[in-house]
A = this chain, B = another copy of it.
Amino acid sequence: MFYLCYMLSISTRGQVMPASPIRKLVPYAEAAKKRGTRVYHLNIGQPDIETPLPMLDAVRHSDFKILEYSHSAGNESYRRKLVGYYQQAGIELDYSHIIITTGGSEAILFAMLSCLDAGDEVIIPEPFYANYNGFAVAAGIKVVPVTSQIENGFALPPIHSLEEKITGRTKAILICNPNNPTGYLYSREELEKLKGIVQKHNLFLFADEAYREFCYTGTHFSTMQLQGVDDHVILLDTISKRYSSCGARIGALITKNRQVLDAVVKFAQSRLSPPSFGQIAGEAGLDLPHDYFNATKTEYMLRRDTLVKRLNQIPGVYCPNPGGAFYAMAKLPVDDTDRFCQWILESFSYEGQTVMMAPGTGFYGTPGLGKQEVRFAYVLNAEAIHNAMNCLEKAIEVYNSKA
């Protein structure tokens, strides 16, 4: 047995592949629930907003007899209809620029595989969506982080600090706008600066715009609206958050670069097709009334305002006001948020309640950073957020009095 384990080893990448920093606390949360403690889940981006009924109904009323493969690039009807959606967002496309993917996740993987070879580098402002690391390991590419600062709300790092990271292996810059985990909404000026860099150094610009509709301060300017960089820009999109349809597993990779499209289609062909039911739901989502997002946005703004206000009222806590998405990254007055986030689940409760948060370190590529930060996903209603903040305030007090 020892012989087998020793000789028959899994891959190095299977070993170095990071476990989800968001999900690693799950056993502690489950144990807390078994003890009867109510856990407020502010740790994961699963919205509590109901999926629009017309989308679910489109699936429920589907009447085909064979659940067939779709086209590898997605149903043409869906792709054609998406052109109208993007037009309303100020993005002019032909349907052939759009390849439907299995979630935004697959769009990220396809972009990396199609544009970067193993050993190539992608620059990403940190903190960043932790799963970028996972796709980078799968694709064998190196993530080069550039640190953004909580003090200025996690704005785009200065251009010189981005340029300093560029090497002969750098092939792309990846941004998430509005940002997960910081909620930062990039300004048009910042995107124009990025345009300058990708032109000057001939890089791809990957833009994850999963939270396009969730902008509270200012309007969203898409990388696809930048002029003169059509060959550089690759848009990574998903319906998961837009329509609270995470389980549909439908996203899109969008670019006007024909070489990239050709390569992506080949990767898409190898996995045959994206999910058929999810595409039906996604296509139905395009018929929603234009004011659908208003109610959702109003609700999220209320939650954001509640969360950020309460956080900044806790002594020693600092949380910049996020401009978009439904995340906020806060600095807590504790020694180590990995330890604190486990402790609050394992050894603390206040009035039978506690809070689950995502420790900051998982969102940083630079070792040692984020140790005092946590990410909140404000996917619960304002009342739940108030209760969670009551817990958090007490918890910080108790935790620090014990230390």
Contact = CB atoms under 8 A, between A and B. Distances in A.
Interface of A: 4-5, 7-15, 17-20, 23, 46-51, 55-56, 59-62, 64-70, 72, 102-103, 105-106, 109, 113-118, 120, 131, 133-135, 138-140, 171, 202-204, 231-232, 244-249, 257, 259-260, 263-264, 266-267, 269-278, 281
A51 B276 CA distance: 13
Contacts of A140: 118, 140
Given A8-B232, A17-B263, A263-B14, A272 B117 contact: no
Given A65-B50, A72-B23, A202-B8, A118 B115 contact: no
Nearest to A245: B67
A118 B16 CA distance: 14
Given A68-B46, A120-B11, A102 B248 contact: no
A134 B67 contact: no
Given A118-B118, A249-B102, A270 B204 contact: no
Given A263-B17, A267-B17, A247 B23 contact: no
Contacts of A131: 269-272
Contact of A266 (B19, B116, B203): B19
B69 A266 contact: no
18 contacts: A5-B259, A8-B232, A11-B113, A14-B114, A19-B269, A23-B72, A50-B66, A59-B277, A60-B60, A67-B245, A67-B248, A113-B138, A131-B270, A131-B272, A138-B267, A140-B140, A247-B273, A249-B249
A346 to B, nearest CB: 22
Given A11-B120, A263-B17, A275 B69 contact: no
Nearest to A102: B102
A88 B70 CA distance: 31
A20 B277 contact: no
A263 B11 contact: yes
A181 B65 CA distance: 26
A11 B246 contact: no
Contacts of A8: 202-204, 231-232, 257
Chain copies in the assembly?
A: 2
Given A103-B271, A114-B14, A51 B65 contact: yes
A273 B106 CA distance: 11
Given A17-B266, A60-B62, A70-B247, 19 more contacts: A4-B202, A10-B263, A13-B117, A14-B113, A14-B114, A14-B266, A46-B69, A47-B66, A49-B66, A59-B59, A102-B275, A103-B271, A131-B270, A134-B269, A248-B276, A248-B277, A249-B249, A249-B272, A275-B275
Nearest to A45: B69
Contacts of A66: 47-51, 244
Contact of A260 (B14, B64, B271): B14
Contact of A270 (B14, B116, B138): B138
A20 B135 CA distance: 24
Contacts of A274: 249
A15 B260 CA distance: 9
Closest CB pairs A-B (n = 6)? A134-B270, A247-B276, A14-B263, A277-B277, A105-B271, A275-B275
A121 B10 CA distance: 13
A97 to B, nearest CB: 15
Contact of A275 (B61, B269, B277): B277
